Amino acid sequence: MKKWSVAAMIILMLVFTSTFSNSAEGTDTDWLKRFNDYDADQSQAYDGAGHVGPIPRLGYTPSNVYGWDESYVLKGYLGVYRATKNEEYLERFVEDVDGMFAQLEDFQGDGFESWWTSVYSIDQIMNGNMEKDSIYYKDSNGAYMTDGWYPYPWYGGKGSVYRTDEDKASGTYSTLVQNSEGENFVSAYTIIPNYTPGKQYNFKFRAKNKHSDDLGKIMIVRQDTGKPIKEFSFTNNEWQSYSVDFKTPDIAGLQLRIYLTNDDTNDPDAATYYDDLSLKQYGEYIVHEGMALTAISEFIDIVYQDKTLSKEYTKKAKEYLKILEKNFVPKWEQHWAEWEHNGIEMGVFKFPFDDTARMTQINEYFPFNEPSKGITIPHNQYAAAGRTLVNLYRITKNEAYLDKIQRMGNFLKSSLHIKETDNGDAFVWNYWDNSGQQWDFGYFRYKSEDISHANIELGLAVDLYQIGTVFTEEDMMKFTSTFKELIWQGDYSDPRVSMFVDGSGSKNYSVLISEWVTLSQFDKEIRDISVQLLNRPRDTFGSTYGMVLIGNLLRYNPDLLTQ
């Protein structure tokens, strides 16, 4: 959890060329300097909190930041440590992990500590941007209402509750709640179509009052009692974003409503504008945890294998292992499914049966806001968890871990397809595949996997190969052909990669090849290609991703430290 002061930043920049030295040569290299520059840069994110957090404006760090940013930082540290044996990188690693684990919390009250976010959940608000009008109110005295929202009182004409283009936060329209003389309560409301009982939700909206002394107000109301379970008031007369958390009732099947009101009932001229509303469940995501814990479990394995490291690292490794086996492993067991196909044992994790299970691939038709509950998750999501379990198996030799990773590996391998190239067969595959089992339903879009998400699946395949199961050396060579013959566009003078593993899509895609560079252990030409891509005139990725790229490159090509 690095909070770099300005003075510290200046000192670091002065010593970058001398402090982090190659253990063999005693001199720094361009690769290490670049890595440390990335590290210093990423530590300034979120007002200096870095990607460990907590993020100041939130008070916590959403799990997606750990999954898609900090995980790269951690992997980068380990890669550079493996290449240099400089324990400074392990010290940075432990500092970050301690900061992350300090924020673990039993947020959902299920007995398992975790990180969480609402970003990836189903939005329960239809037409939250207020752009679509409702045919039901077009002739109601000029009161054009917003689709999915209803006016109260129902007989209100223009002058009470209606959609308007006179002031909006974004787009073309907002909804105005304008008080009317003689009315005790005026509101726009919507019915929450479904909710997961007893869970935390986040309601976000943008709003402004017509006058500086007006009092806008939102209410989340149980219709069986007519009483609010959450109220929030505000006086701002400029557009502002608001975020309100609440917990749903423990009972399923109740009707919940969101009311958008103005609480100045004695002032007929008081009014409030509303726009850009969303309602999402807070959730825990196996892909975010898997990404973050892959490096943490790898650290434990490194420490357990290297008896020369200090006892402090051993103490930390044991502490981290206890946390993983207490929280990560048992939490997701309820979402595990396994089967046999043509004599081959397979298994996957499935989406939880709640509103966190958002995948747009099958939500293109009515009902739009019905999540992908209980179906097989995409390849990258179970692969992230699988990589953590591979490391746990290395550490503990627990056969239960081996069984799961072999089953996931078998399913992944069964989803690969052969594509012939001029220089041998290559693997191509989809972003997401139906397991063919009874729990999978609906429409799966079988689109080619992009090279970014493919890093995670490739990482699992390489991990399994390294422990001698599921994937063979012949398979590894097919993956190298995927990179060299399909993804890489073959021109060293103008280095480019395609967007998808089958070679389709943009030919100037960002160099998101963090795990593809690990194939250089099988084919040194991939090292040369990767170096050429990384030395393009400008970076096409963020500093956190730059760290994992260089970390993996140096891990498998430590000779670059002397060049």
148: phi > 0 → left, psi -120 to 50 → alpha, else beta; which? Answer: left
Interatomic CA distance for residues 66 and 384, integer angstroms: 13
232 DSSP β-pair partners: 218
Domain residue extents for the chain = 1-121+285-309+547-563, 135-281, 332-509
Residue located via tokens 């825990």: 284
Helix (H, G, I), strand (E, B) or coil at 397: coil
DSSP code at position 3: -
Task: Judge contact between 97 and 79, C-beta under 8 A.
Answer: no
Copy the structure tokens of residue 106.
């039993």
Which pLDDT score, from 0 to 100, does residue 550 have? Answer: 97
The string of DSSP codes covering 300-334 is: HHHHHH-TTS-HHHHHHHHHHHHHIIIIIHHHTGG
Amino acid sitting at position 270: A
Which pLDDT score, from 0 to 100, does residue 362 have? Answer: 45
Q: What is the pTM of this model?
A: 0.90
Task: Judge contact between 300 and 395, C-beta under 8 A.
Answer: yes
Q: Is the dihedral of CA 28, 31, 36, 41 positive or negative?
A: positive
Interatomic CA distance for residues 242 and 203, integer angstroms: 8
Interatomic CA distance for residues 536 and 538, integer angstroms: 6
Amino acid sitting at position 124: Q
Angle, helix 543-556 to helix 71-84, in steps of 10 degrees? 30
Interatomic CA distance for residues 23 and 561, integer angstroms: 10
Q: Give the Cα-Cα-Cα angle 153, 157, 158 (nearest 5 degrees).
A: 125
Torsion angle of the four alpha carbons 219, 222, 225, 231, in this order, in degrees rounded to the nearest 10: -20
Task: Judge contact between 260 and 244, C-beta under 8 A.
Answer: no
Interatomic CA distance for residues 57 and 49, integer angstroms: 11
In order along its 563 residues, the chain shows pLDDT tens digits of 444 443 444 333 433 333 333 333 334 579 999 999 999 999 999 999 999 989 998 999 999 999 999 999 999 999 999 999 999 999 999 999 999 999 999 988 889 999 999 999 988 898 999 998 876 555 455 456 788 898 888 765 555 788 888 899 999 999 999 887 767 888 999 999 789 999 999 999 999 999 999 999 999 999 999 999 999 999 999 999 999 999 999 999 999 999 999 988 778 889 999 999 999 999 999 999 999 999 999 999 999 999 999 999 999 999 999 999 999 999 999 999 999 999 999 999 999 988 887 664 444 444 444 557 889 999 999 999 999 999 999 999 999 999 999 999 999 999 999 999 999 999 999 999 999 999 987 656 678 999 999 999 999 999 999 999 999 999 999 999 999 999 999 999 999 999 999 999 998 888 999 999 999 999 999 999 999 999 988 778 999 999 999 999 999 999 999 87
Helix (H, G, I), strand (E, B) or coil at 372: coil
Copy the structure tokens of residue 323.
């946390």
Interatomic CA distance for residues 359 and 377, integer angstroms: 9
Pairing state of beta strands 200-209 and 187-192?
A: unpaired
Q: Give the Cα-Cα-Cα angle 106, 112, 118 (nearest 5 degrees).
A: 60
Which pLDDT score, from 0 to 100, does residue 134 have? Answer: 78
What percentage of the chain's residues is helix, strand, coil (to nearest 5)?
A: 40, 20, 45
Task: Judge contact between 350 and 334, C-beta under 8 A.
Answer: no
DSSP code at position 546: H
Interatomic CA distance for residues 373 and 550, integer angstroms: 38
Going by C-alpha positions, the residue among 192, 194, 202, 156 that lies closest to residue 175 is 156
H-run or E-run covering 244:
strand 240-247
Architecture of the domain made up of 135-281 = Sandwich (2.60)
Interatomic CA distance for residues 549 and 532, integer angstroms: 13
Helix (H, G, I), strand (E, B) or coil at 190: strand
